[in-house]
Amino acid sequence: QVQLVQSGAEVKKPGASVKVSCKASGYTFTSYGISWVRQAPGQGLEWMGWISAYNGNTNYAQKLQGRVTMTTDTSTSTAYMELRSLRSDDTAVYYCARDFTMVQEWDYWGQGTLVTVSS
Amino acid sequence: QSALTQPASVSGSPGQSITISCTGTSSDVGSYNLVSWYQQHPGKAPKLMIYEVSKRPSGVSNRFSGSKSGNTASLTISGLQAEDEADYYCCSYAGSSTHVVFGGGTKLTVL
């Protein structure tokens, strides 16, 4: 069965970086894209970006351009999202999700990773 | 402020039907038949309920249906059940620059 398993919770100081992993199983990793979506406490969903697991092409949300990098390791079927220069308003649960239509529609989601940014 | 507008809350009694609207613009909902809906229970990851406006993934109850007219998409849940109580988010593809826009979410209460 398809599963996306994310790395554990993180606590970071303002200005630091965080790298969240998302290990896929149960399907051919390179046949789909992976998107990252975050949710601040008590807030709605926010799309962060997308990466093709086939060729590594990326698209990022304009507000995060320059601070976010998404990568994949096809040898381990793992996607990564790195966010730099963390601020308090980056505190959120970060989700990876499989893009099954390749136009930003997601049929499987990871369990979420809480990233807390606090001094 | 979210790009797509949803009502903050809706409610209904068991067995009733409710509809959640999702209003965008001609740059997103109005231009693409790529509206999806997600259900989220507290503390859980979102779950895909509808994609491409009206398609249901396997395993999703046929009590859930989607539609679109102009710049507004809608999710209808018929035969409300207690387990349907959750937050619902709409999402639309918005072209190669913006890519994706979400609604602010609607809290469904089953009375």
Each residue's pLDDT tens digit, B56-109: 999 999 999 999 999 999 999 999 999 999 999 999 999 888 889 999 999 999
Q: Which of A44, A59, A95 sits opposite B99 (nearest CB)?
A: A59
Identify all chain A residues contacting B89, using CB atoms and an 8 Å cutoff: 44-45
Comparing C-alpha atoms, which of A20, A27, A21 is closest to residue A78?
Answer: A21
pLDDT in tens, chain A (119 residues): 999 999 999 999 999 999 999 999 999 999 999 999 999 999 999 999 999 999 999 999 999 999 999 999 999 999 999 999 999 999 999 999 999 888 888 999 999 999 999 99
3-state secondary structure of A38: strand
Structure tokens at A1: 């069965």
3-state secondary structure of B32: coil
Residues near A44 by Cβ (< 8 Å), separated by ≥ 6? B2, B89, B102, B103, B104, B105
Identify all chain B residues contacting A64, using CB atoms and an 8 Å cutoff: none
Q: Would the CB atoms of A109 and B34 count as touching at under 8 Å?
A: no
